[in-house]
Amino acid sequence: MHDDSFVQRLAGEGVKVIRGEPMKRHTTWRIGGPADYFVEPDSVDALRASVSAARDHGLPITVIGRGSNTLVLDGGIRGLVIKLHDAFAHYEVHEEECAVYAMAGRSYVALANIAIRHGLSGLEFATGIPGSVGGAVMMNAGAYGRETCEVLDWAEVMDETGAVTRLSNRDLHFGYRYSVLKDRFGIVTWAKFQLRPGQRDEMRSLVRQWSQRRIATQPLSFPNCGSVFRNPEGTHAARLIEEAGLKGLVRGQAMISDKHANFIINLGNASASDVLWLIRHAQAVVRERFGIQLETEVRVLGEPL
C-alpha cells in the first residue's frame, strides 16, 4: 500500500523516498523482497524527519546498516526501511582520551582499522565483523571471544519521537548478542568506544592471523550473512551440523557451505524460503541427533511471499 502524502511530505523536507526498493541490493546475502518505502537519510535531521513522518502515517520502521546478519523474506518489508550508510559514517579519534567516536553507518571493520592505525587497542576483534557500528551496538556483536559491550562507553539513540538520548553501557543492558535495542525502538546515531594504548605492529599481526584463518575456513567468495547459528554452550554449531551430515546440503540456490557448516551461502539466486528451509532442517536434524536446539543469530525481517 503506497501513500503519496508520505512521499510528498518527506520530499518537502529534502528526503528522497524510493518505493518498492529490492532489499536484496542491501543485504550481504543478496536476498530479499521489496521495501514499501526506502530512504537513506543524509543527516540526523533527515533521519528525524523520516521517523516523524512514518510515525504520523502509521508506518512501521525497520532500520538497517550494511545488511549483514540479516535475512529479508521474499515478500519484502512493509512500511519504511531506513538505511544508515555513507552519510552516517563520520568518525573522530581522540588519542588523548584513548577513544574513538563513530556514527552508526560506519563500517565496524573500518573503525577497528582506524583505531589500530592510531595505536588504540580494544577493537581488533571487530575486524572480523562485516556490519555497521549501529548494528554492532544493537546486537552486541562479537568475535574471537570479545564483545562490543567490553569497549562501548555510550551510544546516542533516537526514539520514535525523534528525540536523541545518550545511553550508557549499563543502560543498554547488554547480553550475549543482545542489547535493549532489540526489544524497544531506538536508532543508534553515534557511539563512543573507550580503548587503550596498544602496539600497532602487534595488533596488525594478530588481525592478519585472524584474517588468514577466516579466508582458509569461511566461504567468503559467496554471498552470506556470517554465522547463522549461535554456538551452544560447550560446543560449536558448525561441528554439530557437520556431524549430522548436512555440510554441502543444497535447497534451491542456497547451500549449507561445504567449507564451514555454520554458513549458508547464496549460490546465485537463492530465495529467503530456501534459506529458511535449510535453517529449520538443520535445527530439526541436530535436535533429533544430539538433543540440542540450535538458535539463530540472524535477524529475520519482512514477510514471506
**Could you give the CA distance from residue 188 to residue 179 in angstroms, rounded to a whole number?**
12
**Could you give the CA distance from residue 107 to residue 77 in angstroms, rounded to a whole number?**
24
Which among 233, 235, 236, 260 is positioned nearest to 246, based on CA atoms?
260
Cell digits of residue 212: 588468514
Active site residue 177: yes
User: Which letter, b or e, does each residue of 158-186 get, where b requires 16 or more Cβ atoms within 10 Å of its Cβ?
Assistant: beeebebeebebeebebeebebebeeeeb
Active site residue 297: yes
Q: Dmax over Cα atoms in the chain, in whole Å?
A: 58
Cell digits of residue 101: 567516536
Catalytic residue among 9, 156, 297, 299: 297
**Could you give the CA distance from residue 275 to residue 260 in angstroms, rounded to a whole number?**
15
Which own/partner contact pairs does 203-212 have at CB distance under 8 Å and 24+ positions apart? 203/116, 203/121, 203/124, 204/116, 206/124, 207/112, 207/113, 207/116, 207/124, 207/127, 210/124, 210/127, 210/128, 210/144, 211/127, 211/128
Catalytic residue among 19, 55, 177, 287: 177
Active site residue 132: no
**Could you give the CA distance from residue 35 to residue 21 in angstroms, rounded to a whole number?**
5
Amino acid code (one letter) for 232: P
Catalytic residue among 227, 251, 257, 299: 227
Residues with Cβ < 8 Å from 231, sequence gap 6 or more?
A: 237
Strand runs labelled E in the chain: 18-22, 34-39, 61-64, 70-72, 77-83, 91-94, 99-103, 120-121, 142-143, 146-147, 152-158, 164-168, 187-194, 196-197, 250-251, 254-256, 264-266, 299-301
Active site residues: 177, 227, 297
